[in-house]
Amino acid sequence: MKKKYIDLLKYLSNQNTASTSNEIANVLQVSPRSVKNFVHDINSMYGKKIILSSRSGYTINSKSNISLLLNENTEVLPQTNEERSYYIIKQLFLNHSSSLDIFDVCDYLCVSYSTIRSLLSKMNKTFSSYHIEFTCENEQICIKGNERDKRKLIS
C-alpha cells in the first residue's frame, strides 16, 4: 500500500469526527482531488468501504479492522536505477540464487525488458571496480566473478 494511503488511514483513524477533503489535503500536503482519488483507490483495493464519505466528510468504517491494514506490508517498489540495482543484487545473494528470471524481475519492478537490460549495462559500469559482471543469458540474470570479488561487493 502506498505511503500516502497509509497516512490517510492513520489520520482518519485518529479523528473523532468526519474530516473534509480540504482538511485532509492540508495535512497530507496533496490536493483535495488527490484525497478523493486515495479514498476511491483504498475502497477499490479492498472491495469494500474502508473509508465512508458523507456531506460532512470522510470517516473510517467502524466495521473495518483498520489495524490490519496499517500493519500490512508497506514495501515500496524500487524507483531509481540505484534502488533497482540493489534489489537485483540483494535477490541474487540473499536468496542464494545463481540467477534470476529477467521477466520475473520486470514484473516485480513494473518495468520493461529493455529497461532491465539497460540497467544491467549501467550496473556493469558502476560496479566494474569490483571485477564482477552482470549478464543476461537465456533470459536469466547472473553475476560473474570470483567469490572474493562478490564478497567485496556485498560488504
pLDDT (tens digit per residue) in 101-144: 999 999 888 899 999 999 999 999 999 999 999 999 999 999 99
What pLDDT does residue 77 have? 77
Question: Residue 101's domain spans which residues?
Answer: 81-154
Give me the number of domains the chain comprises. 2
The cell numbers describing 68, all together, are 490490519
* pLDDT tens-digit series, residues 1-37: 678 888 899 899 889 899 999 999 999 999 999 999 9
Is 97 domain-assigned?
yes
Q: Is residue 90 part of a domain?
A: yes
| Spatial distance between the Cα atoms of 150 and 140, rounded to a whole number of angstroms | 18
pTM (2 d.p.): 0.53
Neighbours of 120 (CB within 10 A): 19
Residues 61-83 have pLDDT tens digits of 877 766 655 655 455 678 889 98
List the CATH number of the domain containing 51. Answer: 1.10.10.10
pLDDT (0 to 100) of residue 47: 74
- pLDDT attached to residue 53: 92
Domain end marker among 47, 70, 93: 70
The C-alpha atoms of residue 105 and residue 140 are separated, in whole angstroms, by 10
Query: Residues 66, 89: one domain?
Result: no
Torsion angle, CA of 119/122/124/129, rounded to 10 degrees?
A: -140
Q: Which candidate, 61, 48, 69, 23, places its Cα nearest to that of 36? A: 23
Q: Which residues pair with 142 in a beta bridge?
A: 99, 135
Strand partners, 52: 59
Q: Are 147 and 87 in a shared domain?
A: yes
The SS3 assignment for 143 reads: strand
